[in-house]
Structure 1
Amino acid sequence: MKHTGMAWGTRLSGAVLLLVGLGLIAWNERRVMDYGAALARHGGSPVLDLGAEGRPAAGQFGALTRVSGMPKIMDAPRDREFNVRAESPVLIRHVEMYQWREITVGGNTHYEVDWVDRPIDATNFARPAGHVNPGAFPIQGRQFEAGEVKLGNFKLSAPILRAFPGQVDVTPDEKALPSNFAATFQRVGDALVTSAKPSNPRLGDLRITWQAVPLQAMTVLARIEGDTLVPGTPAREGDAGFDVQVGDRSLLDVMPALPEPPGAVLPVRIAAFLAASLGALLLAWTSRLRRDVLFAAGTGAVIIAAVAGVMWMAGDAMAASVWLLVAVLGAGLAIWRVQQRTSSASN
């Protein structure tokens, strides 16, 4: 009677462990599938969080990634006409001309001369006489981009460089000017001007200044294309396909709506397999397969993999196929152990 009670208790424990294993694998695969569905609503593929130490590697092509750190200027931008250079991703030349402006306030129109960054057509003025402007600029404003900039171990494409925020003034070196410009311009503060008397400029005088994007820690979210970060496919209209933020920002800072991946997926799968295997071992405790660890492992694999495979069938045929293959292998192991035990008993 005592042995019968122990046998029933062992079987009951085995059944409970088997149910625990089934519950664990069902819960685990459901959260993995829910994560995949949520991820599909935000672009469809996981985001590699490479930070500052990540390197280009096989299998990354086309993946979205977060890379952070201080940009490294490998080939600085240069305005060759004026021999102005900046240790920056982008250098910008601004050109202004001293011109007549028409200002109308409350129905009253008056004219004043000021620095303006585009030619003003005086023929459209209400009173053009005496307010004629020189016309087209002899020198144009331009933007110069670095030949190569790296963030971490990745190169940055031009669209990403152009999105870097902020501007700081760049002081030109008057001594480095080419001879033709040195005879025409003089430096006043951070600007070059053609004015003979900078405090009293004349109509048509030019003023040229430079600004550069400051070097500062940055975080970029973009698509990997070889060893370069490029814009990805926009998720919606108006989306640039990448993101640039100042400072070392976490992935959730950059993509606050991104679902967090489920944790400990593999350990939970292993725990489910061990619980199911131990449950099978206890259920077979009173049979000739008692203490047969290989039979229990095969049975646990069949049960866990079959449940997971069935769950994945509707969403991912490849994942379902892998799980069902594991179930078949587990079944093969269990059947082989049964045959081995049967053969041993008959002999």
Structure 2
Amino acid sequence: MRRSAVGCLLLFAAAAAAQQAPAGLPQPDKSPRDAEFGVVSRKFGLERRVEMYQWREAEQGYEKVWSAVPIASAGFARGHDNPKDIPLPSRRILPATISIDGKPLDPEAISRLGEWRGFRPNFSALPGNLSATFQPEGDGLGSAENPLDPQIGDLRVTWRELALPALDGRLALEGGVWKLRPQAIDEPVAQAGLPAARVGKGTLGWLIGAGLFVLAILAIVALMRNRRR
């Protein structure tokens, strides 16, 4: 009877530990894809940023700048007119779900831990109608005939992708959803594939708690053995 009780406790401990830490890596349900440009990311989100070359008021007269929003020029001096709209919208493409070990990752954890990084796509798959308008420019595309001398109304397009850091010790399974541990919110994050500079307080607390749990099990086993003698 006692052996059965100890066995159950050990099984419970193993099951609890398995539930506390994910074993696999995050997986999006579908790779984020910008269908208009044929750009695909292997990360967890894709953002297209479109900027237009426009006039803007300056301290002395006007200046030309790249802007992701239309700059109203109705009150500008003659010869400083901007197009009313940016003909190509910016977009953010996110997967419907990101899962670990078949369980969804809480969107709040993605929002808090995710980092948007510059991404240079492979433009070999650029559709024909767009290849007639755009050419490679920097880390993205541009519509200027001469990238060194853009004209008002020219566009440039760049992309970013959403990366997630290493999630070891940062998540707990609650109600079938991987959620961020409260202690992990302010911890420094190590990017996936890179070692952490130090063990965060949340991870350290989890390790201490797991160690104390194992010690408690061993103490129970030792106590039962002593009673048999």
Normalising by the residue count of structure 1, what TM-score does the alignment of the two structures yield? 0.48
| 1:241-270 Cα shifts (integer Å, max 9, x gaps) | x99653466xx6261684733252133234
Q: Which amino acid aligns with 2:71?
A: I
- Measure how far apart 1:121 and its partner are: 2.7
Q: Confirm or deny that 1:129 pairs with 2:77.
A: yes
**Secondary structure in structure 2 of the residue aligned to 1:94:** strand
Give the structure with higher Rg (CA): 1
Q: Which amino acid aligns with 1:187?
A: P
CA distance in 2, matches of 1:256, 1:219: 8
Q: Which amino acid aligns with 1:197?
A: N
Q: Which amino acid aligns with 1:133?
A: N
Instruction: Give 2:160's aligned residue.
Output: 211
| 1:38-75 Cα shifts (integer Å, max 9, x gaps) | xxxxxxxxxx986xxx5xxxxx5xxxx44376544552
Q: Within 5 A, what are the aligned runs for 1:103-118? A: 103-104=58-59, 109-118=60-69
- Measure how far apart 1:220 and its partner are: 6.6
What is the number of equivalent residue pairs in this alignment? 208
- Measure how far apart 1:215 and its partner are: 7.2
Structure 2 contact 50–158 (Cα < 8 Å) conserved: yes
- Measure how far apart 1:229 and its partner are: 2.2
Q: Within 5 A, what are the aligned runs for 1:26-37? A: none
Q: Within 5 A, what are the aligned runs for 1:92-107? A: 92-104=47-59
Residues 172, 94 of structure 1: alpha-carbon distance in 2 compared, 3 angstrom cutoff: farther
Instruction: Give 1:246's aligned residue.
Output: 191
- Measure how far apart 1:204 and its partner are: 1.2
CA distance in 1, matches of 2:62, 2:169: 47
- Measure how far apart 1:171 and its partner are: 2.3
Q: Confirm or deny that 1:91 pairs with 2:46.
A: yes
**Secondary structure in structure 2 of the residue aligned to 1:118:** coil
- Measure how far apart 1:189 and its partner are: 3.5
- Measure how far apart 1:225 and its partner are: 5.4
- Measure how far apart 1:166 and its partner are: 4.7
CA distance in 2, matches of 1:202, 1:76: 35
Q: Which amino acid aligns with 1:201?
A: P
- Measure how far apart 1:101 and its partner are: 2.4
Residues 202, 244 of structure 1: alpha-carbon distance in 2 compared, 3 angstrom cutoff: same
Q: Which amino acid aligns with 2:56?
A: R
**Secondary structure in structure 2 of the residue aligned to 1:167:** strand
Q: Within 5 A, what are the aligned runs for 1:52-63? A: 54=18
**Secondary structure in structure 2 of the residue aligned to 1:268:** helix
Instruction: Kindly indicate which of the two structures has a greater share of residues assigned to helix.
Output: 1
Residues 256, 222 of structure 1: alpha-carbon distance in 2 compared, 3 angstrom cutoff: closer
Residues 258, 203 of structure 1: alpha-carbon distance in 2 compared, 3 angstrom cutoff: same
| 1:16-52 Cα shifts (integer Å, max 9, x gaps) | xxxxxxxxxxxxxxxxxxxxxxxxxxxxxxxx986xx
CA distance in 2, matches of 1:103, 1:255: 49
Q: 1:165 aligns with which of 93, 115, 130?
A: 115
Q: Which amino acid aligns with 2:32?
A: P
Instruction: Give 2:202's aligned residue.
Output: 255
Structure 1 contact 99–114 (Cα < 8 Å) conserved: yes
Instruction: Give 1:79's aligned residue.
Output: 34
Instruction: Give 1:120's aligned residue.
Output: 71
**Secondary structure in structure 2 of the residue aligned to 1:122:** coil
Structure 2 contact 48–91 (Cα < 8 Å) conserved: yes
RMSD: 4.1
Instruction: Give 1:187's aligned residue.
Output: 136
CA distance in 1, matches of 2:221, 2:23: 35
Structure 1: runs of 5+ lacking an equivalent: 1-47, 55-59, 279-292, 294-347
CA distance in 2, matches of 1:94, 1:201: 17
Residues 274, 192 of structure 1: alpha-carbon distance in 2 compared, 3 angstrom cutoff: closer
Structure 2: runs of 5+ lacking an equivalent: 1-14
Q: Which amino acid aligns with 1:200?
A: D
Q: Within 5 A, what are the aligned runs for 1:197-346? A: 197-214=146-163, 217-219=166-168, 221-224=170-173, 228-230=177-179, 246-247=191-192, 253=200, 255=202, 258=205, 260-261=208-209, 262=212, 263-272=214-223, 277=227
CA distance in 2, matches of 1:220, 1:145: 25
